Structure 1
């Protein structure tokens, strides 16, 4: 089973004019349904959506809990964001379930700016590294 968590969140993008990532989960879902043979996969996918989108800390806790629930059932958990900050709670859950794992992060820029609080899309990777969620 694949658990897909839609996370329509882009409030951690500092420049308001660059926001729009919150629209991505719905767009990706729609495009995926147009994808070849989607009907064959429907019974293997659980689609859920994050609810705590107004409070960053609550959202991260909700994402972590959803991911931990999925991991405990042996599900592959996929997050569809949103800005990069949504990765934090999902990474926290993954590192708890798989404590000896590592992280490979592909992006056009480093996401390692100086620490902000709450983490933004510009420093989420630094927050993940500083929290020692993964082995070095």
Structure 2
């Protein structure tokens, strides 16, 4: 899994297309304690856990957007709580991601989201 990369809403589409593969977009804020827990849990995910869930570690990208700096995207995605996570595959919206802030739960939720057909973005 690639390290967490901060992006701005204006760069998100270009970044997603450039990276390809699977991207987990995490919308956070500096003041958000739950956001810090999710980021810590994601940092603790190891490549073996991803591989055992059928995910390619090198093809999984983590992108973080600040909710205040990316207010337009926050509105478009109908974000009502932080952190909010969204799965993209090959630059296209795939699904929202809901999971507790634990490495195993996040990996399982990501694998389930990718196994399901894509949904329409909000």
TM range (shorter): 0.3 to 0.5
The structure whose RCO (Cα within 8 Å, separation 6+) is larger is 2
Name the larger-Rg structure.
1
Higher helix share: 1
